[in-house]
Structure 1
Amino acid sequence: MRYNKTLNSEMNDMYKLTSTKAISTLGIILLLLCSAIFGGIISYMWVMSSFYLEPENTVDLVITEANFPVDHADFFNITVMNPTHSSSDTNITQIYFTVEGDNNIHNVTKTDLGEFPISLERGTAKTIKCIENWGQFAGKTITVHVIGTNSTGATRSVKTKYVKLNVDVNFNQTVSCKHFNITVENDPNSAINLTLKKIYVNWQDPENITLLTKHENISLPISVPIGKEIPLQCFYDWETLVNPTVRIETSEGYIVEKSANANATMLLLITTVKFNETNPDEIILTISNSAESSTLVDVSKFVLTYDNGTQYTINASLRIGRNENATFSCHWPWMNYRNRNVTVVAYTKQGFVSQSKTVKTPPEVVWKITDVKFDLDDTERFSVNVTNMPCSLYDINVTEIDFNSHETNVTSSIVSIGNQSTFICEYNWTSSVGKDVTITVHVLYKGNESSSISYNLTLPYFKITEVSFSNFSLGNPYVNITVYTSEFSTVNATVTELLIEAENGTCLFNATITDGYELPKGMNMSIVYSWDWTRYSGQEITVRVRAADGSEVTKNVTVP
């Protein structure tokens, strides 16, 4: 009996355990089922809440896809859907994109479907190719925005792949205004190789492009692999440009624009062209680099163009800074190219060209009035020196010399090439003492060809008659200058300054007479000044006396 009771008791315990396990399993199943149902309801409500919360008669656009192709930075593709639950068809009126870290809105102005608006029926989707360059933002997150009629709008963000083209430009006007250098590098972190397609300077094509590593001309396009740097020299005349802009374009649509801090302004002038009259194989050119220029220049040559188009080139090596002048003596045989136009242009190593200057070469005979002398002690005559320069092609015959258009009595004479002659002209000029007069010389050459030159001067009305040197009683040296004012002068001479000069023009003595020293007409007056003349014994000096009206007279003497 005890055994049966024990067995029954154990059987009851096993039954209870089995029943408990069954109930527990069923509870878990029911709990999981309730959780699934509840989760589905929550998910449904979450998904559908936006639809139920939408105002009536609205269109709910969705961007289902946005693709920014790394090998075409000049466009991107988007797929826009107008769901079936939208209230109606719609029109897409605007597409634009924004970029992280950039506050600007970048509007799409052109698509492969034509101009805006773009129609989109309910329950349909369209893929739109947006032709707008996004390459400068490669590597950043770009958000596309689509706006439609009666629409809540749609956005989609895309993390683009990193691509960068590094560009360095170098415009150096000191080197050349005919070319500039560019270094193009495809960034080591770029996602793809690039292809350099176009280079512009202010939207103009360079004439030639040289690969500096090989010093050979190349043609675009050229490949720029990842991490590769390519140095280029572009030949383009950028003279007059200020801060030019270089634009680099790749076949993949990436664009870089770089403005250079450069200025190629140049004002180069040939100011004078002087013919060496003693050497007809030489000319002397003066060239000026204006303060308005942007750089120094190295003049490499001068080109002379004759009136018949023939050119003569003179090589040079002449550096001229800004706001500087330079004089250049050069060989050019102009002896037989006479009285004709020649145009001179300077060219520089930097590519700058001067403004042209046209001058006329000397005539067949070149002669001058080299001196005219009037002596107050002899007012019945005066002398004229005439020089026939070495560059002349013919002798000259002095036939007439006029005093204020009045013919003087003079003996005609031939002056040969490279020589000078003094002509004594008989004419009473007493009434013209101290006045302005014109001396005109007439010559003939080459048979009956004529030429004349006039010489203007003011006739003297006072002169230095004597210069003596002595010592005061105490032994101090002095100079005594005797000045005579002509009796025919209309005014007294008022001396204001005395100068003594060495042969080379160095001033040895200078005395200013503040109130002036008046010299009466027809009289000799002595002016005495303390001066140590013994230091210049045996030397020739020039004594110069100046009057208040600007007139001056000189006398050359030798110091005892």
Structure 2
Amino acid sequence: MSLRINKMIFATILVAAFIIGAFSSYLWVAGYYASLELNLPEKPVISVHSFLTSAGDSSFFNITILNPSLSPEEIKILGIYVLTEDGISHKITLTNPSIPGSGYAIKVGESKVFTCFWNWINYTGQRISIAVLAENGSGGTLSAILPLIEARVTDFLLDPERGSMFNITVMNSENSVAKIKLTSLSVIADSSVYSVATQPQLPLVLEPNGSISLTCLWNWTEYQGKTITIAVITEQKYAAEITEFIPQYVVFNIEEIKFSLDDPSHFNLTVLNSEYSVIPLNMTKISIRLENGTLVSPLSVDPSIPHMLDRNSTITFMCRWDWSAYRDKELTVTVYTEQGYKTETTYKTPA
């Protein structure tokens, strides 16, 4: 009986202790928050967090903007900017939801995910800073690192015997976080851009640490002694480039054209394959372009073509073509070779 009474007294004391302890904790917490309330911000201060993007689609990224529950009022978002490592500030002009000119309102305690449409592929693997501007409060910033996608063009190869093509290798780096899809290839030469077909044909997909050799069907012979840039474009709009110098493999010229006043049924054409050329040339075609752009060919050529012309050699062709109706006119004569080289000259016929 005495033991039972003692247990009841002990339980009563224990419950009382819990109540007193809980009340004391409440007073301490209430006092803490009361002290915080004295330092609440006078204007909204937003939080920017949860950066998200896709390595397979560089056209956008997502961020979350929070107007904390301790803010005194709603806040209006005026714009979003991206600062890249090159010091350039990029204004995001398209978002979802869109940000009107008057600002996008976020209520107290509310957070909103914004999809920002900005292609970051030229800054792959770099750190960016995202700044959110607010009308009636302090804006927010967020630092993030973009996914690394790294493609390279290597092993540029020319064959003097094949002037209508060249070879390259395209690699997707082992450090890339995603596969890439090659969609087009261009050559930039003398400020002109040429779209180039390849074998195998594009598009082609490369996994990380993958590579492929491409034969590019483009005649480079007119750019001997010059520099060209080859650009491979991916579906993500990433451009992998290589700049290369094209050596002077062949010096091929028309040395002389002779028209006889006594016999307008033909003209003579002298062609040179220079001592500086590295290969003999197989001449396969001679054409004549009239002033109006019309192309004609000689009825016959003597000696006949195709005709091989060695290095450091000249040859004179007699081209049978009646030019009597084209006196005192400019004609452009072009000689073509099997290897892709050509030479041409413009000459005015006798009156």
Same-fold status (TM-score > 0.5) = yes
SS of 2:343 mapped into structure 1: coil
SS of 2:87 mapped into structure 1: strand
- Tell me what 1:225 maps to: 207
- Tell me what 2:270 maps to: 285
- CA distance in 2: counterparts of 1:224 and 1:108, whole angstroms: 32
- Tell me what 1:119 maps to: 103
How big is the alpha-carbon RMSD for the aligned residues of Structure 1 and Structure 2?
4.7
Say whether the 8 Å CA contact 1:247–1:255 is kept in structure 2.
no
| Alpha-carbon distance, 1:309 to partner | 3.0
Aligned residues: 309
**Alignment partner of 1:244 is 2:228:** yes
- Tell me what 2:262 maps to: none
Say whether the 8 Å CA contact 1:94–1:148 is kept in structure 2.
no
TM-score (norm 2): 0.65
Unaligned runs of 5+ in 1: 1-14, 212-217, 276-282, 320-325, 362-560
- Tell me what 1:318 maps to: 310
What amino acid maps onto 2:244 in structure 1? N
- CA distance in 2: counterparts of 1:201 and 1:43, whole angstroms: 67
- CA distance in 2: counterparts of 1:246 and 1:110, whole angstroms: 31
- Tell me what 2:63 maps to: 78
- CA distance in 1: counterparts of 2:34 and 2:152, whole angstroms: 51
Match of 2:253 among 269, 279, 303: 269
Q: Compared with structure 1, are the counterparts of its residues 338 and 66 closer, same or farther at alpha carbon in structure 2 (3 Å cutoff)?
A: closer
**Alignment partner of 1:235 is 2:235:** no
| Alpha-carbon distance, 1:270 to partner | 0.9
- Tell me what 1:301 maps to: 283
- CA distance in 1: counterparts of 2:73 and 2:285, whole angstroms: 82
Q: Deviations over 1:421-465 (max 9, x none)?
A: xxxxxxxxxxxxxxxxxxxxxxxxxxxxxxxxxxxxxxxxxxxxx
Q: Compared with structure 1, are the counterparts of its residues 199 and 344 closer, same or farther at alpha carbon in structure 2 (3 Å cutoff)?
A: closer
- Tell me what 1:63 maps to: 48
Say whether the 8 Å CA contact 1:269–1:288 is kept in structure 2.
yes
- CA distance in 2: counterparts of 1:177 and 1:110, whole angstroms: 46
| Alpha-carbon distance, 1:162 to partner | 3.7
What amino acid maps onto 2:76 in structure 1? T
| Alpha-carbon distance, 1:25 to partner | 12
Match of 1:347 among 311, 336, 339: 336
- CA distance in 1: counterparts of 2:35 and 2:159, whole angstroms: 72
Q: Compared with structure 1, are the counterparts of its residues 34 and 300 closer, same or farther at alpha carbon in structure 2 (3 Å cutoff)?
A: farther
Say whether the 8 Å CA contact 1:167–1:256 is kept in structure 2.
no
Q: Compared with structure 1, are the counterparts of its residues 260 and 32 closer, same or farther at alpha carbon in structure 2 (3 Å cutoff)?
A: farther
| Alpha-carbon distance, 1:231 to partner | 1.1
TM-score (norm 1): 0.44
Q: Compared with structure 1, are the counterparts of its residues 333 and 273 closer, same or farther at alpha carbon in structure 2 (3 Å cutoff)?
A: closer
Q: Deviations over 1:137-171 (max 9, x none)?
A: 44454432212224321122334444322332627
SS of 2:310 mapped into structure 1: strand
Percent identity, aligned pairs only?
A: 18
- Tell me what 1:170 maps to: 156
Q: Which has the higher contact order (CA 8 A, sep 6+)?
A: 2
What amino acid maps onto 1:228 in structure 2? G
- CA distance in 1: counterparts of 2:227 and 2:64, whole angstroms: 43
| Alpha-carbon distance, 1:327 to partner | 3.2
**Alignment partner of 1:129 is 2:118:** no
Q: Compared with structure 1, are the counterparts of its residues 200 and 302 closer, same or farther at alpha carbon in structure 2 (3 Å cutoff)?
A: closer
What amino acid maps onto 1:152 in structure 2? S
- Tell me what 2:241 maps to: 258
- Tell me what 2:345 maps to: 356
Say whether the 8 Å CA contact 1:271–1:288 is kept in structure 2.
no
- CA distance in 1: counterparts of 2:283 and 2:54, whole angstroms: 55
Moved more, 222-231 or 180-189: 180-189
